[in-house]
Structure 1
Amino acid sequence: MRQPLSVVKVGGSLVADRARLCRLLGALADGADGRVVVVPGGGGLADAVRAAQGALGFPDPFAHRLALDAMAGMARIFAALEPRLTVTQDPAQLLAAGAVPVWDPSALKAGRPEIPESWDVTSDSLALWLAARLGAQACLLVKSVDARPGAGPAELARLGFVDAALPGFAARFPGAIVLRGPGGDRLCREALPECAA
C-alpha cells in the first residue's frame, strides 16, 4: 500500500530564521512527514514584485506571473539549502521515482481558469490547488507565526493569515488542512469524509 501524500507549503518568511528553515527542509527530506511535495512561498522575492508593482503600476496578471517566478526562485534556494530536495514542474513524476520534489510553479504562467491572476492567490492557495490535483491526503501550511486556535479558512483569510482566495480553494480540497507555526501543528480543517474514507 502506498504511503499517504502531503503537500507542505513552506512560507518564504521562514528565510528570516535560517536554522528553523534548514531543520524543516532536512526533516522533510528525511521523511518526517512521510511522502511529501514541498511548495515554496515567494518570500522576499515576491515582496520585491509587490514593491515594483506599487512603484510602476503594472497589472495584476503580470505581477502574478512574476510572483510565480519568485516561487520558482525560492524552490531553487530550498534545494540549494537541502540537496536531497529536487526542483520540478512535475512533482508526480519525481514522487513515483521516490524523490522529494520541490514544486516549481512556472507552468502556471500560461494561465488556468480556476486560478485568479491577482494577489488574492498566493502560495497558500496554490499549495491547496496542487494538493487537490495530486490527490494528497493533507496540505500543511508552514508559517513563521502561529495561527489562532480553532480558526477555519474564512477567518484565517479575514485576519490576513492566509490569502483571500484560500477559503475557495479549501472548499475544493477534501483532505486535512494543517497550519504549522513555531508552536506546532493546528488543525484548520479535518479531512472531509470523502477523503478520509
Structure 2
Amino acid sequence: MSHALNVVKVGGSLVADRDRLGRLLGALVDGCDGPVVVVPGGGGLADAVRTAQGALGFPDPLAHRLALDAMAGMARIFAALEPRLSVTEAPADALAAGAVPVWDPSALKAGRPEIPETWDVTSDSLALWLATRLGAATCLLVKSADPRPGAGPAELARAGLADAAFPVFAARFPGRIVLRGPGGDRLCREAVAECAA
C-alpha cells in the first residue's frame, strides 16, 4: 500500500443529514482521504440501547455489547447507502483484497481486557483502538459539530465531543488525531501528557 492508512470514524449523528453522509461516504470510497477503514458510530440505534437500559436497568456489559450491535447495524446502513463499502469484522483482510471496509465490531462482544464494557467507551475510543491495532497514520473523527481550535483529547472528552475514555485511548495511539466537523478538519493531537490527563 503506497499511502498511509486512515481510520475514519463517521458519527452516527450524521444520519440527520443524509446528503452530507452520502457525500462523505462516497468521497471516502473514492479515495479522497487515501486508504481508509470506516468505523460507524452507533447513532440512534445506540441511543435506543441507552434508553432501554435507563428504563430496564440491565448492566453496563450487556449495554456495551448491544451498542456494538448498534455499530454493526450502522455499518450495514452505511453499506446500503454506499454499496461500494464492504462490511467486515476483518478490515485488514478487506483492505488487502482492495475493498473499502466499514468495520463491524461484533467480535469485540467476546470481551477485551483493554476495553472497558461501559458507556465510557463508545465508537470514538473504539476507532482509536482499531487505528492502533492497524498501525494507521491518522484517526479521523467526523462529527456533526466543530471542536474548539486546538482542543486536545481530554478537552474533547470534557466537552462531550468524545467519550470519557477517549484520552486514554488517544495516549496509546501514536498517529495523528483529527476531527472533521462542518467547518473542516482540525488537528486535535496535542502532547501525550495532555492526552493522558
The TM-score with structure 2 as length reference comes to 0.96
Report the Cα offset of residue 3 of structure 1: 1.4
Task: Note the C-alpha offset of 1:98.
Answer: 1.1
Q: Structure 1 CA distance, aligned partners of 2:162 and 2:37?
A: 19
Aligned to 2:130: 130
Contact 1:176–1:191 (CA under 8 A) maintained in structure 2:
no
CA distance in 2, matches of 1:190, 1:36: 23
Deviations, residues 137-169 of structure 1 (Å, cap 9, x unaligned): 000000001111111001111111100000000
Give the AA of the match of 1:107: A
Paired residues of 1:46 and 1:67 also in contact (CA < 8 A): yes
| Contact 1:178–1:185, Cα closer than 8 Å, also in 2 | yes
Contact 2:64 2:118 in 1 (8 A): yes
Structure 1 residue 59: Cα displacement: 0.2
Preserved contact between residue 141 and residue 178 of structure 2 (Cα < 8 Å): yes
Partner of 1:116: 116
User: Which sections of structure 1, spanning at least 5 residues, go unmatched?
Assistant: 193-197
Write out aligned runs for 1:131-170 (5 A): 131-170=131-170
| Aligned counterpart, 1:81 | 81
Q: Which runs of 5+ in 2 are unaligned?
A: 193-197
Local SS of the residue matching 1:189:
coil
Deviations 1:78-104 (A, max 9, x none): 000000000000000010011100000
Distance 1:145 1:89 in 2: 28
Partner Cα separation in structure 2 for residue 53 and residue 160 of structure 1:
20
User: Percent identical across equivalent pairs?
Assistant: 85
Residue type at the aligned position of 1:2: S
Q: 1:14 to 1:98 in 2, by over 3 A?
A: same
CA distance in 1, matches of 2:156, 2:19: 27
Mapping for residues 151-190 of structure 1, pairs under 5 Å: 151-189=151-189
CA-atom RMSD, angstroms? 1.2
How much has 1:2 moved relative to structure 2?
Answer: 2.5
Q: Deviations over 1:105-151 (max 9, x none)?
A: 00000000000000000000000000000000000000001111111
Could you say if the C-alpha distance between residues 167 and 191 of structure 1 is closer, same or farther in structure 2, counting changes exceeding 3 Å?
Answer: closer
TM-aligned CA deviation for residue 191 of structure 1:
9.8
**Counterparts of 1:20 and 1:88 in 2: how far apart (Å)?**
23
Aligned partners of 1:137 and 1:191 also within 8 Å: no
Quick one: distance in 1 between partners of 2:191 and 2:165? 19
Secondary structure, counterpart of 1:31 in structure 2: coil
Map Cα deviations across residues 2-48 of structure 1 (whole Å, 9 max, x no partner).
Answer: 21000000000000000000000000010000000000000000000
3-state SS of 2:188 partner:
strand
Deviation at 1:62, TM superposition (A): 0.2
Indicate the residue corresponding to 1:51 in structure 2.
Answer: 51
